[in-house]
A and B are shown apart, each in its own frame.
Chain A
Amino acid sequence: MSAGTGLSRLEGRDKVTGAALYAYEYPVEDPLYVWPVGATVANGSVVEVDPAAALADPEVVAVLDHTNAPRLGQGGIADQHVLQSPDVAYRGQIVAGVVATTPEAAREGAEQMLVRYVERPAKVVLDPSDPSLEEPTAAFGGHPGSDAKGDVDAALAAADVVVDRVYTTPTEHHNPMETVATIAQWSGDRLLVYDSNQGPWTAAVAFGALWDIPPERVEVVTEHVGGGFGAKVRPTPGAVLATMAARVTGRPCKLMLTRQQMFTMSPGRSATRSRIRLGARHDGTLTAVDHDALQYSSVIHEYVEHTGAATRTMYATDNLRITHRLARLNLPTPRVMRAPGHAPGMFALESAMDELAYALDLDPLALRLANEPAVEPAGGLPFAGRHLVECLTVGAERFGWATRDPTPGMRRHGRWLFGTGLAASTYPALQRAATATARAEPDGGFHVWVGAVDLGTGARTALWQLAVEALDAPPSRVSIHIGHSSHGQAPLAGGSSGTASWGGAVRAACTALRERLAEHGGVVPADGLAVTGSTEPPPPDRSRHSYGAHFCAVRVDADTGQVRVDRLLGVFAHGRPLNARTAHSQLLGGMVMGVSMALHEQTVVDPRLGMFVNHDLAQYHVATNADIRGLEAHSLERADDDVTLAGGKGVGELGIVGAAAAIANAVHHATGVRVRDLPITLERVRGQ
């Protein structure tokens, strides 16, 4: 029962029987339904909103637009300032909301809305020759916008071998199975929100800022979430619209985005373009690493995908340069998606490393081993656990890498071409500030409250196990309470930091409670005993990352170019998992999304209309059951990876990073075709 044990999920039975309540499913008295109306131009202004046709239906009770919507405070980001101005920055931006007594009437009303625009020319294509590209000083996640050591240009000029290639990843969308859903209800100046988000406390702070009320007057309830992957890290425009509708009507208001609306009314991952230049000596020693990353944000909010960040930590070199550039486009503001920065960035770097191995006639495994750094290449910090070499060598042994013939395009059986490839993975081990409260009851029971949320990560179960262990109490007497903003300050579930942060606070609170109980001679006072514990981010004195290695076997149809992943083995070093079962599932889930990223996922922008044209699950393809076979995730539990107060490092993102590169490298080995643009579609494999 203690931490680490592969206990099945506490909420498992509720989830398989349908009893678990997700945001939209809470019973509320006499609700209204809200349907957002999205802009049909990519740049411009609303000049007229005519709600007459919608309001003709007696079931439609209100229509909100920029002329009559409540005024919000200055807090939050521009995307959340719904209906505060007539300006339209991207197609699909909310320009009105219809509120009705039934969802059918709300939807029909939204269809009936007449909105006229003055349209301006829109820029929607990521173009490296765009003269207005910005060079941001900072990228997301506290990463520097640019970073350099040594003299990269001189080192490249002097290198024996240079690889100079461009790799691209498309706009992608998270597509959690549960779309964004909100029920908002006001009581005076107190706001209650059942909301599908990745952090109830951070959501309450955001709603408070938007409505200019103290966050304590906002209660956000998020017991179960149908997946997030970054789509729900902050209140979406739709959630804000629901709070407005509830404010205006005085009734509980329900909003659930359609799958189609999710593509513009919740964020996606920015397309990226990485130019990688690697310089090396004939013996494989890297002499220069240059990663120039281009991504986009909207015209109303700056988000800089930290595409080059992983390159700071990976390989030893005396000359290293990382630059980020940003285009501002008339597209929805992108945001973090599973392994932001690292998933697209490592596709580029790990593809380039494979190309360098071929250019040097070296084994790609040997090339990586030859460039293992003693300290973090960019900052010079010592590593807080690494084990990349071990991941690579253990993976190679398990996979049978040693017998590989590197020659591309020579293993054909019937119509299938076979190939293998590898790539490394890494992700930061973050720990953020969090608080938790532990309480002992006179009857021998214990309760622990933390503003955590379980997106399917297994956080609820892992935190409970941690509490049981730290309290040294009978498991049946310990209850864990998560998913409410009133449980106290807590970071969101994101960046693989959630459980490490909440867990640290839970451990601190429970440990302190045990000490207090001891002071009371082990006797709980009649009114109980409660103690709050907290955790803070660690000092920036070490380079804290988890690492891993993917080994992949593919077959490629020689006629059609269809790629099948036959085997994907991941070996990961992330310290001691709090729950081996759910950690393993997370790693596998990341690898599945890696296969999906490699082979299927792309959001296609219509360059004329600024529209995401494939905005549903029939056209935006994600991996299905039939796409996945031969998955194996193996964890190395090394003590020096236990760098958080909770224990090990987070595992939510590690499985996706590098997976696409391993697959692309295997496709090259199978076919001789190097695909540098994701996804690896049939026409790209066929070189067309």
Chain B
Amino acid sequence: MSGDVVLRVNGEDRVLHLDNRVTLLDALREHLRLTGTKKGCDHGQCGACTVLLDGERANSCLLLAVAVAGRAVTTVEGLADGAEPHPLQRAFIAHDGFQCGYCTPGQICSAIGMLAEAAAGLPSAVSADLAGTAAVDLDDEEIRERMSGNLCRCGAYAGIVAAIREVAGG
């Protein structure tokens, strides 16, 4: 079964004729040629496919494309401001927060979503304040905890935390 779907990706409406089984991840990679979003497990277990869905981080491998029609999807290709990379993109380079680079788009999208969650006061498993009334002070412990849904097999975690800390602090 297939049908027409309008996906709103990086601010643009894209009309696709898709098999209903196509995930958002495969729609991006195979149909829109937005291959910056990576497939690491296709199972919601590694975070490589993380995109922003209406501003919140989401595993695009766990979403069917038809189910997100009309919602705002932001991928790593949509983060830069024109030719100017997003501050997190710059910080990942400056702190060598990646090696092979395959988890990196997901890490960066996840970090953007995470910063918004912390600003909104959403607690994590290591937060002292569980009431969620004030913005969370993102120390390294909070960043590590909140970024643990994004695996990095190269082991660039120290650089990832440093990059996010720099942007969170600034």
Q: Which of B71-127 contact A (CB under 8 A)?
A: 75-77, 79-80, 85, 89-90, 92-94, 96, 98-105, 108
Q: How far is the CA of A20 from the CA of B36 in the complex (A)?
A: 8
Q: Please tell me if the beta carbons of A16 and B35 are within 8 angstroms of each other in the complex.
A: no
Q: Please tell me if the beta carbons of A16 and B104 are within 8 angstroms of each other in the complex.
A: yes
Which stretch of A112-120, A222-230, A276-284 is in the interface? A222-230
Interface-centre pick from B19, B93, B152 (highest chain A CB count, 10 A): B152
Interface-centre pick from B37, B43, B100 (highest chain A CB count, 10 A): B100
Which among B33, B103, B143 is the interface contact of A27 at CB below 8 angstroms?
A: B33
Q: Please tell me if the beta carbons of A617 and B30 are within 8 angstroms of each other in the complex.
A: no
Q: Which of A604-627 contact B (CB under 8 A)?
A: 616-618, 622-627
Is B144 in the interface zone, CB < 8 Å from A?
Answer: yes
Q: What A residues does B66 contact at CB under 8 A? A: none
Which among A17, A177, A256 is the interface contact of B85 at CB below 8 angstroms?
A: A17
Q: What B residues does A8 contact at CB under 8 A? A: 93-94, 96
Is B9 in the interface zone, CB < 8 Å from A?
Answer: no
* Shortest Cβ distance from residue B127 to the other chain A in the assembled complex, whole angstroms: 13
Is A12 in the interface zone, CB < 8 Å from B?
Answer: yes
Is A11 in the interface zone, CB < 8 Å from B?
Answer: yes
Q: What B residues does A9 contact at CB under 8 A? A: 93, 96
Interface string of B19-41 (1 = CB under 8 A from A): 10110001001100111111111
Q: Which of B10-69 contact A (CB under 8 A)?
A: 19, 21-22, 26, 29-30, 33-43, 45-46, 48
Q: What A residues does B145 contact at CB under 8 A? A: 625-626
Q: Please tell me if the beta carbons of A629 and B104 are within 8 angstroms of each other in the complex.
A: no
Q: Please tell me if the beta carbons of A226 and B29 are within 8 angstroms of each other in the complex.
A: no
Is A18 in the interface zone, CB < 8 Å from B?
Answer: yes
Q: Please tell me if the beta carbons of A625 and B161 are within 8 angstroms of each other in the complex.
A: yes
Q: How far is the CA of A18 from the CA of B155 in the complex (A)?
A: 20
Contact flag A617-B144 (CB < 8 Å), given A102-B19, A589-B99, A625-B157: no
Which among A227, A589, A622, A628 is the interface contact of B144 at CB below 8 angstroms?
A: A628
Contact flag A628-B157 (CB < 8 Å), given A13-B85, A176-B100, A617-B41: yes
Q: Which chain A residue has the least Cβ–Cβ distance from B91?
A: A16
Q: What A residues does B143 contact at CB under 8 A? A: 625
Interface string of A437-461 (1 = CB under 8 A from B): 0000000000000000001111000
Q: Please tell me if the beta carbons of A591 and B39 are within 8 angstroms of each other in the complex.
A: no
Is B147 in the interface zone, CB < 8 Å from A?
Answer: yes
Q: Please tell me if the beta carbons of A585 and B36 are within 8 angstroms of each other in the complex.
A: no
Q: What A residues does B37 contact at CB under 8 A? A: 18
Q: How far is the CA of A27 from the CA of B30 in the complex (A)?
A: 9
Q: Please tell me if the beta carbons of A16 and B85 are within 8 angstroms of each other in the complex.
A: yes
* Shortest Cβ distance from residue A644 to the other chain B in the assembled complex, whole angstroms: 21
* Shortest Cβ distance from residue B157 to the other chain A in the assembled complex, whole angstroms: 5
Q: How far is the CA of A582 from the CA of B41 in the complex (A)?
A: 26
Is A271 in the interface zone, CB < 8 Å from B?
Answer: no
Q: How far is the CA of A102 from the CA of B22 in the complex (A)?
A: 10
Q: How far is the CA of A456 from the CA of B153 in the complex (A)?
A: 11
Number of residues on chain B facing chain A (CB within 8 A): 59
Q: How far is the CA of A27 from the CA of B156 in the complex (A)?
A: 29
Q: How far is the CA of A585 from the CA of B75 in the complex (A)?
A: 27
Q: Please tell me if the beta carbons of B157 and A259 are within 8 angstroms of each other in the complex.
A: no
Q: Which chain A residue has the least Cβ–Cβ distance from B34?
A: A18
Is B129 in the interface zone, CB < 8 Å from A?
Answer: no
Which among B46, B102, B140, B154 is the interface contact of A589 at CB below 8 angstroms?
A: B154
Q: Please tell me if the beta carbons of A104 and B21 are within 8 angstroms of each other in the complex.
A: yes
Q: Please tell me if the beta carbons of A618 and B76 are within 8 angstroms of each other in the complex.
A: no
Q: Which chain B residue has the least Cβ–Cβ distance from A15?
A: B101
Q: What B residues does A18 contact at CB under 8 A? A: 34-37, 75-77, 105
* Shortest Cβ distance from residue A306 to the other chain B in the assembled complex, whole angstroms: 23
Is A663 in the interface zone, CB < 8 Å from B?
Answer: no
Q: Please tell me if the beta carbons of B36 and A616 are within 8 angstroms of each other in the complex.
A: no
Contact flag A628-B43 (CB < 8 Å), given A16-B85, A226-B102: no
Q: Please tell me if the beta carbons of A177 and B96 are within 8 angstroms of each other in the complex.
A: no
* Shortest Cβ distance from residue A524 to the other chain B in the assembled complex, whole angstroms: 34
Q: Please tell me if the beta carbons of A616 and B85 are within 8 angstroms of each other in the complex.
A: no
Contact flag A628-B155 (CB < 8 Å), given A16-B92, A17-B76, A456-B99: yes
Q: What B residues does A588 contact at CB under 8 A? A: 155-156, 158
Q: Which chain B residue has the least Cβ–Cβ distance from A258?
A: B42
Q: How far is the CA of A270 from the CA of B113 in the complex (A)?
A: 39
Q: What A residues does B103 contact at CB under 8 A? A: 177, 226
Contact flag A259-B38 (CB < 8 Å), given A9-B93, A456-B100, A589-B156: no
Is B151 in the interface zone, CB < 8 Å from A?
Answer: yes
Contact flag A20-B144 (CB < 8 Å), given A103-B30, A625-B161: no
Is A590 in the interface zone, CB < 8 Å from B?
Answer: yes
- 18 residue pairs A–B, Cβ–Cβ below 8 Å: A14-B101, A16-B93, A17-B79, A18-B35, A18-B76, A102-B19, A179-B40, A224-B101, A226-B38, A227-B99, A227-B154, A618-B45, A622-B151, A624-B148, A625-B147, A625-B161, A626-B144, A628-B158
State the A residues within 8 Å of B (CB): 8-9, 11-22, 24-25, 27, 102-105, 108, 174-179, 224-227, 229, 256, 258-259, 455-458, 581-582, 584-586, 588-593, 596, 616-618, 622-629, 631
In addition to A20-B101, A258-B42, 9 A-B residue pairs with Cβ atoms within 8 Å of each other are A17-B76, A18-B35, A18-B77, A177-B38, A177-B40, A585-B99, A588-B155, A589-B156, A617-B40
7 tightest A-B contacts by CB?
A: A18-B36, A592-B155, A226-B102, A456-B99, A456-B100, A15-B101, A589-B155
